[in-house]
Amino acid sequence: MHRRQFVLGALGAGLTAGSAPAFAQAGPKECTRAAIPFGAAIRVDLLRDDQEYRRAVLGHCQLVVGEGGLKWFDLRPEADKFVFDQPDRLLAFADANGMRMRGHTLAWYAAMPKWTEAISTKKEAERVLYEHIDTVVGRYKGRIPSWDVVNEAVSEDPTAETPMRKSIWQDLIGTQHVELAFRRTAAVDPKAQLVLNDFGFENPTDRCRAKRAAFLRLVRNLKDRGVPLHAIGLQGHLPGEQEIDKDGISRLVAELHGMGLSILVTELDVIDDKLPRDRAIRDEIVASRARAFLQAIGDVCRPEAVVTWGITDQFTWVPIWFRRKDGDPNRPLPLDANYRPKPLMRAIQEFTRAKA
Ligand code: G3I
């Protein structure tokens, strides 16, 4: 089957009347269906400037998300100016090639332009957030089917007193900003799938256990209040040196799935700064961490998408924060710097195809 037919069939299948908006076919019981869609975070300039990069995206991806472009910093250099160039180009690329595009992200603590620091009241913060959602979601209504509405709202080290991460939204509006963002997005595009996206759940550590607990409390509260939250994005920036807490992940996913939520893997990569230098050994460990993470999710439900945060080791955010001490380049992604598939690509393909 041609890829375009396959992708549109698979992604459209979830949009059934009466059900929560879905990005792709969901539900563990069906027998015949396509593989789980695979995608990657994209640097849109490279699609134009680097033909090898473009070929890799065309060859491997059924969906795309901008690594930047829809963040406030990129979209809104000034308070009264929106720059849609990057997301417009990515959406045109997706449309021309039978792919779907996810939107990342509407409310986040990071990548905020300087002018937002002058916002000082709850009222003004709400006004600016609503203006943002109305303008951005309104522009892409019916064309971007799935949004990371709120990104990384829960603290990295949550305590009972401070479960939420500091941000302009949390500081000025409080935890209610999550509910407000979801309700406003649903009002602007009622058919879009609305996702709460976060990371730091996957290891057998007290920190990850606290994160899972705080995250579940937030989600339960949103669901109890009837907030239009449809899916959870498990980012999956996996620290390579740590074991995956398969039981912990499976239990988290079971709780979320039990609340009627779909699961998407939204930013998968394996951070390899503390792994052995030997590349073959390192690549196997990277693949095994991702395999364990995906299996722990797949044991409970079928994720609607598996998205890696980049496609090639040549272009990855990882060295910004996790450069290796021995100077060897990081290898967190499915293709190496020369676009050769690594064991991680095999692990992802085995998972997405086994779920077909
Ligand atoms: O575009 C400029 C370039 O012109 C300049 O030469 C270069 C020099 O530093 O900087 C370039 O911009 C950087 C950009 O990444 C390049 O892609 C920005 O400084 C840098 O802040 C930006 O970082 C991004 C970061 O989010 C903040 O927006 C990363 O690429 C991106 O991978 C990362 O993505 C986040 C997700 O949104 C949320 N989850 C975690 C994930 C990884 O941190």
For atom 23 of ligand 1, the residue with the nearest CA is: 317
CA of 332 to the centre of ligand 1 (A): 16
- Give 107 Cα–ligand 1 centroid separation in angstroms: 16
Q: Which atom of ligand 1 is nearest to the CA of 71?
A: 28
> What secondary structure does DSSP assign to 172-211, as a single string?
HH-THHHHHHHHHHHHH-TTSEEEEEE----SSSHHHHHH
For residue 273, the CA-to-ligand 1 centroid distance in Å is 18
User: Which pLDDT score, from 0 to 100, does residue 26 have?
Assistant: 39
- Residue to probe by mutation, ligand 1, list 70, 151, 312, 320, most atoms within 8 Å of CB: 320
Strands in 114-259 per DSSP E: 146-151, 193-198, 231-234, 237-239
Q: Which atom of ligand 1 is nearest to the CA of 151?
A: 38
The pLDDT score that the predictor gives to residue 356 is 64
Listed in sequence order, the DSSP H helices in the chain are: 3-12, 44-49, 51-60, 72-75, 85-96, 122-139, 168-173, 176-188, 206-224, 246-258, 279-298, 318-322, 343-354
Which residue's CA is the nearest one to ligand 1's atom 28? Answer: 111
The alpha carbon of 76 is separated from its chain's Cα centroid by a whole number of angstroms, namely: 21
Residue 271: its H or E element: strand 262-271
For ligand 1, the distance from its centroid to the CA atom of residue 317, given in whole angstroms, is 6
Task: Please identify which of the residues 152, 179, 202, 304 carries the catalytic annotation.
Answer: 152
Residue 25: per-residue pLDDT: 42
User: What would the CATH number be for the domain defined by 2-11+34-354?
Assistant: 3.20.20.80
Q: How far is the CA of 67 from the centre of ligand 1 (A)?
A: 8
Measured by CA distance, the residue closest to atom 29 of ligand 1 is 317
From 167, 317, 322, 323, give the residue whose CB has the most ligand 1 atoms within 8 Å, as the site to mutate.
317
283-318 per-position pLDDT tens digit: 999 999 999 999 999 999 999 999 999 999 999 999
User: What pLDDT does 22 receive?
Assistant: 80
Active-site entry in 67, 179, 202, 267:
267
Residue 121 DSSP code: S
Which pLDDT score is estimated for 20? 83
Q: How far is CA 44 from the centre of its chain?
A: 17
Say which DSSP state 35 is in.
P
CA atoms 247, 250, 253, 254: torsion sign: negative
- Give the residues of the chain that fall short of pLDDT 50: 1-18, 25-31
The set of protein residues with a Cβ atom below 6 angstroms from ligand 1 is 43, 67-68, 71, 110-111, 151, 235, 267, 317
Q: What is the CA(354)–ligand 1 centre distance, in A?
A: 33
Judge whether 30 counts as a catalytic residue. Answer: no
124 belongs to the catalytic site: no
Atom number of ligand 1 nearest to Cα 41: 32
Identify the pLDDT of residue 21.
86
Domains of the chain, by residue range, sit at 2-11+34-354
What pLDDT score does 15 carry? Answer: 32
